[in-house]
Structure 1
């Protein structure tokens, strides 16, 4: 009886989002802030003197909300004990609330929340704390990624976990771009390089790559073929990040018709093709399951 209960509990824990209501609510707060800021921008514009730009607050809140939603999805399948999951959950809640608050409030006050040159000592201290908060998020996320790589052959959700492993590699690149922005004290480098593109592309791997695994899992695709598709889609995604990083390091925009951006775009098209194929397989399998059995 005890073994049956343990198996049932384990199956429940392996469901995406299971037990992570607070993190989901936390992400919804970020999306609500982003929506409110978008409405403000449509009415009054984005610039608030001397340094504020609420458009940046909009993109930041939306991005952090999506990041937290991704963490909420995969935390139950990390294999961590309930106490460790609780520790991670209760780290992200205050850390994210502070990030939402400082980014939003400072921009609406007209100050850069990270590198203010017009603010008071209090504004500078708040910016330093923001930097520390960001560094702690990087450290905790890196520690959270470790369990996914320790499991040599995950018996539960293997396709999703494979996508998560690749996603965390891209996420570390995104964090590196964030640290780069701290060093540069801004998002721009060189003549036209914009680190925010690299930063965002790296973070979106947390949605794109596990979701590919989820589609193939739901479609009940052949496991070996599904693994090849995830490897292919994830590798080309990683290649696109590498190419975007090189273009940015050269101080050039990724929105130009030159070899590196074109190759990065081609790599993302290959990922998109894998995503579309997985979606079609899921649609096909759904139709087959809904077809009535003549016998």
Structure 2
């Protein structure tokens, strides 16, 4: 009798962006489509719907969530989560995203504030409270993913991306704090002119601003030390700027006023932007050097 040997399939970790995250990408596309449709409506009918609705808010919210979900779809394969945990994370995020799209869009088109309605019925109030709970679920999922990326041990397969993701999640943590702050205040404004939505929005965009330069520099022939130094400088400048904006908001002051702190934050954002452009230029140079122009090909052939 021949002995049968059982084949044990070991799941290999994924290191490709977006791999296995079709449904998160679809959720992102839904948000972009909603935003495009709302933009067309605004052009034809304006943005305000009485008594409280403002469809411009729905436009910006859906676009921002769509971009955030697309960023999560890109980096989730690098998280090192098991297939079961990754599936759980994915579907919780999808459910939370669908509810967020729905209540933000429907309530604004009905003329009510989706979070803090003062004109709606008890159903509108309950819907806004549930929106707060869903927002907290998204915050908790983000915190769990932050912890997971900081738990990853060296050597990393894609160290530059992991470094950028870690910085990005620290910025997203600030965005989440601002979101919880708004829930507790039942408003987005602080003091005379502070606006938490500015802090919330800018901090969330670190998922693009701090990760894309890492992706660009992965494809560039530079010393690893130089790449990391450039990314550290840009990311730290971004984070300090975010903290200054948070301080201004906490004091009830607008980040757009001409104060010393606002100017310092602007300078730091310019420093970050300079590192972004540097990474982009190196990437473009690397891509162009791999292609030989057609006129040079003709010269080499003697044409």
Per-residue deviation, 1:290: 2.4
> Matched residues in 1 for 2:269 and 2:162: separation?
21
Shift of 1:237: 0.2
CA distance in 2, matches of 1:62, 1:105: 15
For 2:255, the equivalent position in structure 1 comes to 254
Are 1:231 and 2:232 an aligned pair? Answer: yes
Task: Give me the whole-angstrom Cα distance separating, in 2, the residues matched to 1:191 and 1:227.
Answer: 41
1:42 match? 43
State the distance in 1 between where 2:287 and 2:119 align. 58
| Residue segments in structure 1 that go unaligned for 5+ positions in a row | none
Q: Is 1:287 the counterpart of 2:294 in the alignment?
A: no
Aligned to 1:245: 246
Match of 2:162 in 1: 161
Distance apart, 1:6 and its partner CA: 6.3
Larger Rg, first or second structure (1 or 2): 2
Q: In 1, are the aligned partners of 2:156 and 2:162 still within 8 Å (CA)?
A: no
Q: Give 1:206 shift.
A: 0.8
Q: Match for residue 278 of structure 1?
A: 279
What's 1:123 paired with? Answer: 124
Q: Tell me the residue number matched to 1:32.
A: 33
SS at match of 2:290: helix
User: In structure 2, the residue corresponding to 1:290 is in which secondary structure?
Assistant: coil
Counterparts of 1:1-295 in structure 2, within 5 Å, are: 9-10=12-13, 13-291=14-292
Q: Per the alignment, do residues 37 and 154 of structure 1 end up closer, same or farther by CA in structure 2, a change over 3 Å counting?
A: farther
What do the CA deviations read for 1:251-293 (whole angstroms, capped 9, x no partner)? Answer: 1111122111111110011111111111111122222222499
Deviation at 1:221, TM superposition (A): 2.4
> Displacement of 1:80 after TM fit?
1.1
TM-score between both structures, scaled by the size of structure 1: 0.93
8 Å contact kept, 1:26–1:65: yes
Equivalent-residue separation in structure 1 for 2:192 and 2:273 (angstroms): 31
Judged with a 3 Å threshold, the aligned counterparts in structure 2 of structure 1 residues 154 and 114 are, in CA distance, closer, same or farther, namely farther
Q: Aligned partners of 2:113 and 2:143: how far apart in 1?
A: 27
CA distance in 2, matches of 1:75, 1:220: 26
Question: d(CA) in 1 for partners of 2:260 and 2:267?
Answer: 10
SS in 2 for 1:219: coil
What's the TM-score, normalizing by structure 2? 0.91
Question: Taking structure 1 as reference, are residues 154 and 208 closer, same or farther at Cα in structure 2, changes over 3 Å only?
Answer: farther
User: Are the counterparts in 2 of residues 219 and 283 from structure 1 also a CA contact under 8 Å?
Assistant: no
Distance in 1 between residues matched to 2:110 and 2:156, nearest whole Å: 51
- Is the Cα–Cα contact under 8 Å of residues 33 and 58 in structure 1 kept in the other structure? yes
Larger helix proportion, structure 1 or 2? 1
Cα distance per residue 1:38-97 (max 9 Å; x no partner): 111111111111111111111111111111011001001111112211111111111100
C-alpha distance after superposition, 1:223-246 (max 9, x if no partner): 111111111111000011011111
Structure-1 separation of matches of 2:43 and 2:84: 44
Distance of 2:229 and 2:152 partners within structure 1: 19
Secondary structure of the 2:210 match is helix
Give aligned pairs, total.
Answer: 287
